[in-house]
Amino acid sequence: MTDLTALTLEAALAGLKAKNFSSVEITKAHIDACMEGADLNAFITTDFENALVAAKASDAKLAKGEGGALEGAPLGIKDLFCTEGVKTTAGSKILGAFKPQYECTVTANMKQDGMVMLGKLNLDEFAMGSSNETSAFGSVVNPWKPEGKNDEELVPGGSSGGSASAVAANMCLGATATDTGGSIRQPASFTGTVGIKPTYGRCSRWGIVAFASSLDQAGPITRTVKDSAIMLQSMAGYDPKDSTSINKELPDFSVACDRSIKGLRIGIPKEYTIDGMPGEIDDLWQQGIEWLKDAGAEIVPVSLPHTKYALPAYYIVAPAECSSNLARYDGMRYGVRVDGEDLNDTYEMTRAAGFGKEVRRRIMIGTYVLSAGYYDAYYLQAQKVRSRIAEDFTNAWETCDALLTPTCPSAAFPIGRPVNDPVQMYLNDIFTVTANLAGLPGISVPAALDKDGLPLGLQIIGRALDEETVFAAGAALEKAAGFTAKPKKWWV
């Protein structure tokens, strides 16, 4: 019998429809895979009992030839999405045993379409991080290992590390993720998976725990570009409950994956290379250019002159918004409370006990850059830089239709690598934050293995609302790269 966990989402949905196997069968196969992979620590909460109930309900629908676009498919949900009656932690201790009484719009859409939810996936605390090491529930382990170094454990990237690891290890057919500065694309690059951050406003933020509201965007992590298109189609859509949600008809993302890129103008921004970046990443970028050329694209050099200011601007805007968003965790309404001598003391003790080091650092930076006297020098300045970065892209779109860049400046690195300097960690996001600051769609597609046998991704960034071109170019890269490598299964 075929290994049902090795199927793409697309093939699984077709197989379910054709009744080659049932949802209960494919769900059970994934539950087994999740149990085998427990050491990867990808899940914070599993919900297998309800998954089987949902699978049975899907089978009943499928038997009648009914069912939605994700009917019967076992998927994972990043634990930042509020799910009714299922513990939601945001990777933090501060929420305690919080069980939302409501369902966020994205997962509501997916449930409406018939998804079977296996559980809630691990992440950096409040999605702040690039390695999943800031989670209060422990690091997630990357299923990939450097060749010949079997005792080394690598990070899966962050903040959607659980999502990336679970998809790469065939524990679910696809997973939701969120991307504020790169948290879909960087973990996808580190685990040989595909991840797309759509245009800001495509997916409703309603019911997703907020990190930095003007940057946060949900999207899928999957094993193929087509699978990402299928999942995004279900996740996205207008929602009046999110005032920044885009009220525009969704194009057919799957159809876009099959579109030819003949004549498409691909811009190569000269600023997307940094000192100390491995030569292999530059080589892969060149290879990507050749692949797209062979597929009929026209390559144009472009300049995005404010790129070097993107990371500093992001690390002002994101902490500023986080300090405001996280002010609500005061021990009065949610989760953890540590009683102090008076109200202020209670606030302080609660927040000191509930938040981890990285979240506290961000709150302090954010509070500082928003405080009287520093607001103009930092926050306002960063907002101006943000406008310049958006303008850079607008100018680039005069000569090209999409951009090709590396996703990250490195491959996955070892868990516990000493990080005395947080800026070193922040550098992971150097090629991804720009798309968040400008609200643009970006996809990471696995393109090659490095000299240690670890996956590397290439990124396509597109115009706002033009995910179709991003999918088309992403699918062309995927086809040319022919990336079929899988991590060796050492975790059983």
Catalytic residues: 78, 159, 183
Single out the segment in contact with ligand GLN by CB under 6 A; choices: 121-129, 163-171, 218-226, 476-484.
121-129
Sequence letter at residue 85: G
Query: At closest approach, how far in Å is the CB of 422 from ligand GLN?
Result: 9
For ligand GLN, which residue of 74, 114, 156, 181 counts as binding (CB under 6 A)? 181
**Quick one: tokens of 219?**
């999207």
- 192 burial (CB, 10 Å; 0-12 / 13-18 / 19+) is buried
- Beta bridge partner(s), residue 117: 75
Residue 459 binds ligand GLN (CB under 6 A): no
Among the listed ranges 93-101, 102-110, 176-184, 402-410, the one in contact with ligand GLN (CB under 6 A) is: 176-184
DSSP state of 94: T
From 7, 86, 90, 128, residue interacting with ligand GLN (rule: CB under 6 A): 128
| Span 200-239, contacts to ligand GLN by CB under 6 A | 211
Question: Using the rule CB under 6 A, is 59 a contact of ligand GLN?
Answer: no
What x-and-dash track marks residues 300-329 binding ligand GLN by CB under 6 A? ------------------x-----------
Q: CB atoms < 10 A from the CB of 252, how many?
A: 11
Asked if 130 is part of the footprint of ligand GLN (rule: CB under 6 A), the reply reads yes
Choose one: 123-131, 269-277, 376-384, 393-401; the region binding ligand GLN (CB under 6 A).
123-131
Classify each residue of 103-138 as buried b or exposed e, where b means 16 or more C-beta atoms within 10 Å of its C-beta.
Answer: bbbbbbbbbebbbbbbbbbbbbbbbbbbbbbbbbbe
SS3 301: strand
Could you give the count of Cα atoms lying within 13 Å of 8 in the half-sphere of its Cβ?
Answer: 16
- And the tokens for 414? 């070892």
For ligand GLN, give the closer residue by CB, 179 or 280: 179
CB of 160 to ligand GLN, least distance (A): 8
- Between helix 279-294 and helix 467-481 the angle, nearest 10°, is 100
What are phi and psi for residue 338, nearest 5 degrees?
-115, 115
Q: Residue 399 contacts by C-beta under 8 Å, 6 or more apart in sequence?
A: 265, 267, 300, 302
x/- mask, ligand GLN, residues 404-433, rule CB under 6 A, reads -------------------------x----
Least distance (Å) between residue 177 CB and ligand GLN: 9
Q: Which of 183, 233, 323, 407 binds ligand GLN (CB under 6 A)?
A: 183
Least separation in angstroms between residue 202's CB and ligand GLN is 16
Question: Which range, of 128-136, 250-258, 324-332, 414-422, touches ligand GLN by CB under 6 A?
Answer: 128-136
> For residues 253 and 470, what is the distance between their CA atoms, to the nearest angstrom?
10
The single residue listed with the structure tokens 């930042």 is 80
Q: Does 182 engage in binding with ligand GLN (CB under 6 A)?
A: yes
**What number of chain residues touch ligand GLN (CB under 6 A)?**
14
Contact between 191 and ligand GLN by CB under 6 A: the answer reads: no
159: preceding bond cis by omega (within 30 degrees): yes
Strand order in the sheet with 402-406: 43-46, 116-121, 74-78, 174-179, 217-222, 194-197, 442-449, 455-462, 402-406, 265-269, 298-302
Given the rule CB under 6 A, which of 14-22, 179-187, 299-307, 467-475 is the region that contacts ligand GLN? 179-187
How many residues appear in the chain? 492
Residue 251 C-beta: closest distance to ligand GLN, Å? 25
Residue with smaller CB distance to ligand GLN, 86 or 318? 318
Query: Would you say 34 or 425 has its CB closer to ligand GLN?
Result: 425
Binding residues for ligand GLN (CB under 6 A): 127-130, 159, 178-183, 211, 318, 429
